[in-house]
Structure 1
Amino acid sequence: MIKSPVLTAAPARALIDEQISIRGGFLPPHCPVTVWARMHSDEGDLWEAFAHYNTNASGAFSLSSDASVGGSYVGCEPMGLFWGMQPAPGGREGLRKRNVETPFVVRISLLEGHVSPGEGQTTELAAVTAERWYLTPGVKRTEIRQNGIVGTLFIPPGEHLGPFPAMLDMWGMGGGLPEYRASLFASRGYASLSLAYIGHKDLPGRPNCLTVGDSYFKAAFQLLQDHPQVVSDRVGIIGLCFGCYLTLRIAVQTGVKVGHRSSCLILYLAAGKSHLFTRLSYPGAGHLIEPPYAPNVRESMWTYKPKKLFTMWGGHPAPHAAAQEDVWKKILDFMETNLRC
């Protein structure tokens, strides 16, 4: 009995920072195939990636152990179909999750031969769907509009398992209220508050101006620290871009007690304790290093008035993807060591 070609993706439902094992089988030996992944952003734009593989003597292949010989990436890249995605022709750059309560739904197709999807007729041999989530089941999401503070609070699953260590999460001067990193922290067992401080409709003043000061950030930190499901002396801060400056400023200038990192790292360095400071360098990576297994945000709109202004963030897809994977593991390990243990 001749079996039909099969394509599997396991687990079919996973957090965005978890690897998926993609395999194909019941194919002719040493035959060319194409694996094609595509999904829609929250705004409806189509994103896609594809890669060329050759089956082994048993008529099988695995993205975890076999090398792509062409397409969106080359080499052995188990998650290349995800970080290698680009907008389809006519689509918009800058893939970022707006609604963390829904997954990215990725359709993965197995195509006959080495082909470029969208350029002529293709034959689909098999297909599978994978869900990529930012929230694990049971995470509680609460919008915060309290004492002038604008943010989103995430509490890990299990009301009777807390209190939890926590993270205050701040992004850059692009503004708004990105939630996807904070939601992942909560999915990993950390209460987290994603804090808006510029470019949000609920903040006072002009939308593209920084109108809040030290008291705002101190109040946000204390709101998180005083939450009944948070361990008050195990609260950390993470920032990206301008948020990095704010992270250090909160620890140095506002008088908050940052758990077991109760003095700023810069002060540790000044005190001659450079062994407490770790510097990571990733040649080829861009400015926006985010959670792994998502495409590199190479450009985004910075302002739209009085005219549209786009900012190029740099980075090459493969080294940027490797940097995001390595950094995320180091961040979680650092949090585990200094906040949970």
Structure 2
Amino acid sequence: MICKLCSTYIKPLCFMAATQSKKRWESMTHLSPPAMRWRTSTSPAPVLTVTPARGLVDEPISIKAGFMPPQYPVTLCAQMRSEKGDLWEAFGHYKTSADGTVNLARDHSVGGSYLGCEPMGLFWALQPAPGERDGLRLRKKNVETPFIVDISLLEGHVTPRERENSELAVATTERWYMAPGVQRIDIRQNGVVGTLFLPPGPGRFPAVLDVWGMGGGLVEYRSSLAASRGFASFSIAYMEHKDLTVQLDIDSSDAYMKKAIDILRDHPQICGDRIGVISLCYGVYLTLRTATLADVNVRCTVMYSCVLKNLSCPLLYVLGEDDQNLSSTENSKLVHINGLKTAGKSYLYTRLSYPGAGHLIEPPYAPHTRMSYWRVKPEKLPTLWGGNIVSHAAAQEESWREILKFLDKNLRGHLSSYARCNVTE
């Protein structure tokens, strides 16, 4: 309905309040007039702002709402569709401050998907909506398109199922995995299958080889983010991909990994002597021997949840102490005490250990998955990853920041953050 007094959209009850007497209005509703002053035609409608409206998934979002009564109950709700069409959602219950505003960087959720002051809770607390498929894990396949997240301001402390009759304002934000100017290049060379991401500009850039776990296929979203932060990144497939001629194992991986690093080293926009490796789970086993070979000479290694020895370059070990998939804590002790310390190389070792975090430590603000179905031919089996939602979210945010600092220190050296290598040929 359009208000004749201010030409703005208002609910039918608001129109009645503007045209009928105060006494009659009180008799028609259970809510007293003082609590509903903002719903009259002479007051501005509630406003919801979500900034930036377009940004990278590892960037924080500012969510604010205003023009409401003080101490008024409202719900902030986030909803988005996965690439397969599954609905994911999260919500928090808030009360407005004395000036009638809500600011997620300041105010505490008193109920819903999370509690407390959590500015990004609407993102990392996303879970499959009731009625969606069981055992889902949110992973981005096409990094050249964003996730579209709808943020709603709802009246009262309600659930997303009740949004139709309680929606006060809506805003949308796009969450991208590639910054403007990042190049995505398909690589099918010398038997190597992968995707190379180059940062904006001519280079030359420091680079990382990005190797994932036994889920197989070609996983690109960590590489595209790394390139968005100034590092050329080469994500490779080694199993479960249609273009692979051979499925690799730990005994046959050396030649393949060398070829992948040579592709980076020979690229004209990449600093050939500033290459690192970042790997997860089973992918670590495949890269370990490669990283220790003298003729490969990688500058640094970032590992998630696995064992290592005989390393000669700086190592950042990231682990979740509630990892239910691998014995990450025990492995980290073996790496340090039985491996690097015994060899007199403790100075190479840095460990990031997170209580309450599970196996799947992703880039920041990704929804936590404690259990998901994992395809193990010929069927899908439930796999327990571990972690609790709040601690895991904190681990993802801090570890990504520390990984970028580690790569910057060891691949750029004295150069300023995100600067080009500019190697003299």
AA of the residue aligned to 2:258:
K
Which one of 216, 223, 241 corresponds to residue 200 of structure 1?
A: 241
CA positional deviation for 1:199: 1.3
User: CA offsets per residue over residues 272-293 of structure 1, 9 Å max, x none?
Assistant: 2313311121111110101011
Q: CA deviation at 1:310?
A: 2.4
Aligned to 1:231: 271
Distance in 2 separating the partners of 1:77 and 1:276 = 35
Provide the identity percentage.
Answer: 62
- What is the CA distance between 1:257 and its match in structure 2? 1.0
CA spacing shift, 1:102–1:210, aligned 2, 3 Å: farther
Structure 2 counterparts to residues 1-341 of structure 1, below 5 A: 1-92=42-133, 93-119=136-162, 122-159=165-202, 162-205=203-246, 212-253=252-293, 255-259=295-299, 263-264=312-313, 265=315, 269-341=341-413
After TM superposition, give the deviation of residue 158 of structure 1 in Å. 1.5
Distance 1:147 1:212 in 2: 15
CA distance in 1, matches of 2:286, 2:300: 19
Cα distance in 1, alignment partners of residues 261 and 341 from structure 2: 24
Amino acid corresponding to residue 85 of structure 2 in structure 1: G
* SS of residue matched to 1:175: coil
Find the aligned partners of 1:12 and 1:136 in 2 and give their Cα distance: 14
Task: List per-residue Cα deviations over 1:159-210 (Å, max 9, x = no partner).
Answer: 3xx100001000001111110000000101111100111111111246x977
CA distance in 2, matches of 1:282, 1:106: 28
In structure 1, C-alpha distance between the alignment counterparts of 2:114 and 2:300, rounded to whole Å: 42
- The separation in 2 between residues aligned to 1:254 and 1:111, in whole angstroms, is 60
Q: Once the two structures are superposed, what CA deviation does each residue of 1:247-266 show, in whole Å capped at 9, x if it has no partner?
A: 32211147301136782456
CA pair 223-246 structure 1, distance change in 2 beyond 3 A? same
CA contact (8 A) 2:154 2:163 kept: no
Q: CA deviation at 1:142?
A: 0.8
Corresponding residue SS for 2:289: helix
For normalisation by structure 1, the TM-score amounts to: 0.94
Rg (Cα) greater in structure? 2
Give the residue type in structure 1 aligned to 2:117.
C
Contact 2:249/2:286 (8 A) holds in 1: no
CA distance in structure 2 between the aligned counterparts of 1:230 and 1:179, rounded to whole angstroms: 19
1:106 partner amino acid: V
| Greater relative contact order structure (CA < 8 Å, 6+ sep) | 1
Higher share in helix: 2
What is the CA–CA distance in structure 2 between the aligned matches of 1:193 and 1:79, rounded to whole Å?
Answer: 29
SS at match of 1:222: helix
Q: Which residue of 1 aligns with 2:307?
A: none
Residues 69-118 of structure 1, C-alpha deviation per residue, up to 9 Å, x if partnerless?
00000011110000000011232411100100000000000000000121
Q: 1:140 touches 1:154 (CA, 8 Å); kept in 2?
A: yes
User: CA separation in 1, counterparts of 2:219 and 2:196?
Assistant: 12
CA 65–141 in structure 1, closer or farther in 2 if over 3 Å, else same: same
Match for 1:246: what amino acid?
A: L
> Which amino acid is the alignment partner of residue 272 of structure 2?
S
Deviation at 1:304, TM superposition (A): 4.6
Per mean C-alpha deviation after superposition, the further-off stretch among 114-123 and 223-232 is 114-123
Which whole-Å CA distance do the structure 2 matches of 1:170 and 1:115 have between them?
43
Q: Secondary structure at the match of 1:219?
A: helix
Matches of 2:251 and 2:57, distance apart in 1: 34
Alpha-carbon contact 1:199-1:209 (below 8 Å) kept: no
| Structure 1 residues 297 and 260, CA gap change in structure 2 (3 angstroms) | closer
Q: Is the 8 A contact 1:165 1:234 kept in 2?
A: yes
314-323 or 113-122: which moved more? Answer: 113-122
Aligned to 2:30: none
Letter of the aligned partner of 1:214 in structure 2? D
What SS is found at the alignment partner of 1:70?
Answer: coil
CA distance in 2, matches of 1:209, 1:298: 27
